[in-house]
Structures are given as C-alpha cells and as structure tokens.
Amino acid sequence: MRLLRSVLLALAGWLTGVAVAQAADPLNVYTIWPENYARPMFQEFEKQTGIKVNFLRFSSGEALSRVIAEKGNPRVDVLFGGPVETFAAGIKEGIFESYKSPSFAKLPARFKHADGQWTAIADDPLVFMTNAAFLKANNLKPPASWDDLLNPAYKGMLQMADARTSGTAVTRIFSVLEVNHRDEDKAFAYLKKLRKNVQVYTKSGGGGTLPVGLGQAGGGIFFIVDALETKAKGYDVVVSFPKEGIGSSAEAIALLKGAKNPEAGKKLIDFATSAAMQSKLAEYKVNFVPANPDVKTEASLAEVLKGANIIPIDDGYAGANRKRIVERWVKEVLPEQ
C-alpha cells in the first residue's frame, strides 16, 4: 500500500507538472481582425481547450511584413484573419506550414489553399458606406455604381484605406481590376479619377468608418463587417453595392513555418475552421459570412447581401500580383492629384 501510495503521489506530481508546463506554454498569434472581433473567439478557444492565446493586432500589410521579417525564427505560431490576398502573398515568401483541419474537406475550393497553407474562416464582402445626412444635403441617392463615387459632390469627402498597410485597400483595388476585366490601364485610370475625391487614406481598413458616421466624410469603401458595426452603433449611414460588382475576400488562418507551438496552432486552426467557432460570429454580432457550410449566414446579414453582385477575389491572381499592383498604386495614385 505504501508503495502504491508513493507511485500515485509521484504520478499526480508528474501530471501536475505537465499541466503547469502546458499552462506556461501559450499560443502566440498575430491577428488582422480588430481586437473586438478576435478576442471573443480566442476566449471561446481557451474555454474549450485550456490553451491561452497571446495576440497582437496589426493591419494586414503590417502583419505580412512582420511574419516575412521573422521568417526562420517566427515570434508567433499563427496568422489569424485578414484577406486571403495577404496569405497568398505570404505563400510566395515561404512563411506558412501546410495543415488541413478536420473541416478542410467540406470547404468550397475558394475557401482553402489546395496544400493547406491557409484555410478560410469567413468571407467579407466590400460595400459602399455613405453618410445619410450628406446624401440628403447633396440630393444624392446611395451610390449604386463605381462611377457614382466620381460625382463632384464627393470631392474631398471620401475616406478609404491605404494599400501600403491595409488589406481592405488591396481588396478594393482588385475589385476595380475585376470590374474592368483585369485591364490594368483602365482600372488605374479610374483609381486616379477617384483619388480626386479622396479626403484621406487611412492606415486600417475600418479607419474611415467613424468619420463617415460623424459626417466628417461623406462616404467610403469598407468591408461589410466594419460598415454594419458602424450602423449598429447608431450612426446614420447607408450601405450599398455597385451594380458592376464588388470584391469579397475570404478571411484566412495559417500556421507559421517554424512555429514554436505548432500543435496548439493546429488546434486553433481546427477551432477557427469549425462550425463551433463560426456559429459564434452571429452571437457576438460580428458580421462575417461563415466559410463553413454547416453554419448559416445570420438572417439580417443575408438580407443586406440579397441581390448584391459580389465578386470573389481570386487568391492566385491577387497573390501573384499584389506587390506589383500596390507599388503601382503608390506611385501613380497615392500622390495628390
């Protein structure tokens, strides 16, 4: 009995040591989702697994630059959220490790990289968002065409994101490319005209939402999740879609090559791609469209999207051309016209 008691005590001590070691080994993440979107998801993950998530939030351009700079000795295990164009560009840099979660097989092709270097966790269409009072004061209807944003009434009254730092901006530029059938000269001619009406290019994708809500700007182009959050806060804004179409970017997750805690990283990918997490989006009023086909789009979000001409951004095309297109935008469009 004494021997058995000693063995049991030793086993209990070993198990306690394992638990302490696990508790002391958290998962480190860069998230492109704003903290108020990402934090509740990480908290749900911790509840289910006991794994603590330490995270830092960056816009997609900043996050991509960091993980490329840290290649070979990554400071984080997982890149969470953000437009798929960012992840496609990361693949070119060799920064991701292939991993296929249990949900991988059921996801549509546009929501996963064939080798599992990224997997989508949601979809996020762009929208036009305008201030209702501005529309009324200028006798305007909500913009229903890309050309509507060229109206002189919008001169110096549009805010949207800067492509040097924001994935929202990259999706916007690729949207213009798509509606112009990838004719770059036509697309950039439009972007130069639009520049005349831009008041400021913001660092983050949602940076212009509050100014539009307050009427400091007349409108802008944002992801639907940010536009609907602005509306939910009580600002009198109008969401509309261009008839020619507008881009939607899959929001992705990926494991970093050389991750210090890859097993925990895989568990986060399992969770993020599951119906369990994506069903929480509506609960926390985060207006992403679930990527997992087992989760229905929340009814009010589905109603907003009804009839919209949504163009899924081609991750292969965007990833192959992202750097060059952004550089061209910086050179030809960004300077004051």
Rounded distance, CA 156 to CA 163, Å?
A: 19
pLDDT tens, 99-144?
999 999 999 999 999 999 999 999 999 999 999 999 999 999 999 9
Rounded distance, CA 262 to CA 98, Å?
A: 11
As to burial, measured by CB atoms within 10 angstroms (0-12 exposed, 13-18 middle, 19+ buried), residue 243 is middle
**Contact between 217 and 284 (Cβ < 8 Å):** no
Rounded distance, CA 50 to CA 86, Å?
A: 30
pLDDT tens, 37-91?
999 999 999 999 999 999 999 998 899 999 999 998 999 999 999 999 999 999 9
Dig out the tokens for 29 from the structure. 């993440």
Indicate the pLDDT class of residue 6, thresholds 50, 70 and 90.
low
Between 263 and 19, the higher pLDDT residue: 263
Residue 2 pLDDT more than 80? no
Beta strand extents in 34-89 (DSSP E only): 53-57, 78-83
Category of 132 on φ-ψ map: left (φ > 0), alpha (ψ -120 to 50) or beta: alpha
Task: Using alpha carbons, select from 117, 93, 92 the residue that is nearest to residue 320.
Answer: 92
**Contact between 178 and 199 (Cβ < 8 Å):** no
The HSE-up count of residue 34 (CA atoms within 13 Å, CB side) is: 15
Q: Directed axis angle between helix 60-69 and helix 167-179, to 10°?
A: 110
Rounded distance, CA 313 to CA 322, Å?
A: 12
Please state, in angstroms and as integers, the Cα–Cα distance from residue 336 to each residue in 137, 195, 232, 244, following that order: 27, 8, 34, 27
Residue with tokens 């289910």: 48
pLDDT tens, 241-258?
999 999 999 999 999 999
Rounded distance, CA 320 to CA 23, Å?
A: 40
Indicate the pLDDT class of residue 22, thresholds 50, 70 and 90.
very low
